[in-house]
A = this chain, B = another copy of it.
Amino acid sequence: MSRPALVLFDVNETLSDLNGLRGRFEEVGASGDHVGLWLASTLRDGFALTATGAYADFRTVGREALRAQLAQIEALQRDPDDAAIHILAGLGQLDVHPDVAPSMRRFAGAEVRMATLSVGPAENAAKLLDRAELGDLVERHFSVDEVGRWKPAPDPYRHAARECGVALDRCVLLAVHPWDIHGAKRAGLRAGWVNRGGREYPEFFERADAESDSLSGLAEAFVGEQ
């Protein structure tokens, strides 16, 4: 495989560990298992907007999905609006997965440029990597806000490549979600799938160029062993 010129890291669940929100759900009287439904519902509604040529940002869609979800919970110990604000504040305090630092250091050692590309706010990605002392390795944080269309539509991927002045096929997206791999591939980029949970790849999505159980394994796949 030819070495990429630019690696785009997805953010939610690829870099950040959303299990960090579980405690905040529990603090308002809800099970930590609600994290999964909240993210799936938020993405569902964001993608619905994209499929109809409309747009609202992640904060807006995520807050509404969470409020609707919390309002169904009888044991909730706070007003759903307040509970949603409390939980979403946790997005600014997440940790990165342990495979993030070795992966980014490997790409940096191979002089491959790096950026992030998120459906969420750019500042959350910036703060996440600053807390992990990795901020200096990443040249830019892209959000779908810049194009007004959520991934997996092609626009956000192509915008990031264009802004960095890199040909599409020299860009690689690394992501944990198959729908994101699919979007990058359809847009003309290459992609690496982080399969931390050992799941099967859905047959109906475009396949990644490389797969590993860790981001560091993907760094090896794209730039070779150290």
Chain B residues positioned under 8 Å from A37 (CB to CB):
36-37, 40
- Give the residue name and chain of the B residue nearest to A199 (CB): B68
Partner of A179, one of B40, B44, B152: B44
Chain B residues positioned under 8 Å from A178 (CB to CB):
45
Q: Which of A13-21, A99-107, A127-135, A200-208 contacts B (4 or more CB under 8 A)?
A: A200-208
List residues 168-194 of chain A with CB under 8 A from any CB of chain B.
178-179, 182-183, 186
Q: Which of A3-11, A46-54, A110-118 contacts B (4 or more CB under 8 A)?
A: A46-54
Cβ–Cβ contact B199 & A71, under 8 A: yes
Cβ–Cβ contact B150 & A51, under 8 A: yes
Cβ–Cβ contact A64 & B153, under 8 A: no
- Residue A223 lies at the interface, judged by CB distance under 8 Å to chain B: no
- Residue A212 lies at the interface, judged by CB distance under 8 Å to chain B: no
What is the oligomeric copy number?
2
Q: Which residues of A pack against B, CB within 8 Å?
A: 33, 36-37, 40-41, 43-45, 47-54, 56, 60-61, 64, 67-68, 71-72, 150, 152-154, 178-179, 182-183, 186, 197, 199-200, 202-206
Partner of A53, one of B48, B49, B179, B186: B186
Cβ–Cβ contact B51 & A51, under 8 A: yes
Chain B residues positioned under 8 Å from A67 (CB to CB):
200
Q: Given A37-B37, A200-B68, are A183 and B44 neighbors across the interface (CB < 8 Å)?
A: no
Chain B residues positioned under 8 Å from A43 (CB to CB):
44, 48
The complex places the Cα of A97 from the Cα of B31 at a distance, in Å, of 28
The complex places the Cα of A53 from the Cα of B200 at a distance, in Å, of 23
- Give the residue name and chain of the B residue nearest to A186 (CB): B52
Task: Show 26 residue pairs from A and B whose CB-CB distance is below 8 angstroms, ordered by the A residue.
Answer: A40-B41, A43-B44, A45-B202, A45-B204, A45-B205, A47-B47, A48-B183, A48-B205, A49-B182, A49-B204, A49-B205, A52-B182, A52-B183, A52-B186, A53-B186, A54-B186, A54-B206, A60-B204, A61-B202, A64-B202, A64-B204, A67-B200, A68-B199, A68-B200, A68-B202, A71-B199
